[in-house]
Chain A
Amino acid sequence: MTTTVTNKATANINKILDTVLDAAPIGFLLVDSQGRIKHFNKHCEGLFGFTKKELLDKPIETLLPGQLRESHVGMRDNFITEPWPRMMGAGRELFAQRKDGSQFPIEIGLGPVEIEGEMYVTATVIDITEKQQHDAQKKARLEQSHYEELMQLSSPLLTVWKGIKVLPLVGTLDSIRTQDAMEKALTCMAEEQIRVLIVDITGVLTVDTMVSDHLIRMATAVRLMGGDCILTGISPEVARTVTQLGVDLSTLHTRATLADGLALGIKVIETGRGF
């Protein structure tokens, strides 16, 4: 009597389990210790393109890309001798292969289970193609918006007088930022017929030979365009470093403060003769 009840209960549980597994939106496989596929749910058929008949009792390697099949046999044996539940392939990308030979990225969870002295491994499989595409797009969008934000922040051009623009530089000056600032400043000069560009470096953290070189390039470009470039915001520390580094700033017109630079710029505009 008890046995019958237990059998009936087991049958019920099996029925429920099968229904759950077949309805699940992920692939489920049961593999024996020799790597043969013993059981799999409906989702797997759609995922890999095989029918039930084609896959049953076949080696699990059937579902792997050709170049991985051989090495997988060894890894599978290792797992059977030392089984513990885990996510497969932590930290690297896994691929599966469909019947038609196409490959797709997957995530796999492995769970060892012992049934009547035999080792079996359950594997749950998710196709992550869409997730990967989504992640990549999201990452690209984020990077782009960060970069644009930084670029906008890094080089605003301020009108302070007719024909005079101020370019306040803040933070660290690298070649990309300098190039960007230079491009913007030169384009603006051509469009608005700007005569004087004041570059203020009060907010620049360090002025070394590299940064000085960038500034000299910028001043040269402004001169070639027919404008005059004034470098302002030079602190005593910057003056000291630059001199000790042996950087020759004599080709630049420099002033200690923005106010002095502006006064010089207005003089240039009014006389119209440059320096």
Chain B
Amino acid sequence: MQSIPVLKIGPVLLVSIQTELHDSLAVNLQDTILYKIRDTRARAVLIDITAMEIVDSFIARILSETTQMASVMDARVVLVGMRPAVTMTLVDMGMTLPGIDTAINIEAGLFKLGYELCAIRQDGHAVREPALMETVDGQD
């Protein structure tokens, strides 16, 4: 069965949905995320929906529920990269996904969760990437 990979980057789980979600796949994904939170003791989940062209009310509800479930397990979910067309359809349907954290791209999402990319100098010290704000502004 087709499944969506849930990647772990430090304390953050990264879920990038690169295919259209049908109902069973969505339910399946919800399970995967929750088990992965327990197994990896992740504190945050980034769900990237940049590639999704259709988000119907069922998928929206699954996403909303997953956020609540994760929060009960003390993990914060940020939804990333919703397309304009998808956004407008959801607003028109009155699905405003209350309580869901969102970000414009993955980097902004990480930043929102309190993490950011660092460069590691040769002496082992982390240096804040000045490029980050540039990319957040879309100048990269």
Contacts and interface: CB of A to CB of B under 8 A. Distances in A.
Interface of A: 162-163, 182-183, 186-187, 189-195, 217, 220-221, 223-227, 269, 272-274
Contacts of A186: 84, 87-88
Given A162-B139, A273-B111, A226 B88 contact: no
Given A221-B88, A226-B109, A194 B139 contact: no
B125 to A, nearest CB: 22
B10 interface: no
Interface string B90-106: 11000011001111110
Contacts of B137: 162-163, 193, 195, 269
Given A272-B111, A273-B111, A225 B104 contact: yes
A225 B139 CA distance: 19
A220 B138 contact: no
A267 to B, nearest CB: 14
A225 B133 CA distance: 18
Nearest first, the 5 A-B pairs at minimum CB distance are A193-B138, A186-B84, A272-B111, A226-B102, A226-B104
Nearest to B50: A190
A25 to B, nearest CB: 55
How many B residues touch the partner, as a band? 20 to 34
Given A192-B138, A193-B137, A193-B138, A225 B87 contact: yes
Contact of B102 (A194, A225, A269): A225
Interface in B68-113: 79-84, 87-88, 90-91, 96-97, 100-105, 108-109, 111-112
A228 to B, nearest CB: 9
B102 A224 contact: yes
B136 interface: yes
Contacts of B108: 193, 195, 226, 272
Contacts of A187: 84
Nearest to B100: A224
A190 B103 contact: no
B136 A226 contact: no
25 contacts: A162-B133, A162-B139, A163-B136, A163-B138, A183-B88, A186-B87, A189-B84, A190-B104, A191-B138, A193-B104, A193-B108, A193-B135, A193-B138, A194-B104, A220-B96, A221-B90, A224-B82, A224-B97, A224-B102, A225-B82, A226-B102, A226-B109, A269-B133, A272-B108, A273-B112
Contacts of A190: 83-84, 104
A195 B105 CA distance: 10
A81 to B, nearest CB: 63
Contacts of A224: 79, 82, 87, 90-91, 96-97, 100, 102
Contacts of A273: 111-112, 114
Contacts of B100: 224
A221 B138 contact: no
Nearest to A163: B137
B138 to A, nearest CB: 3
A195 B136 contact: yes
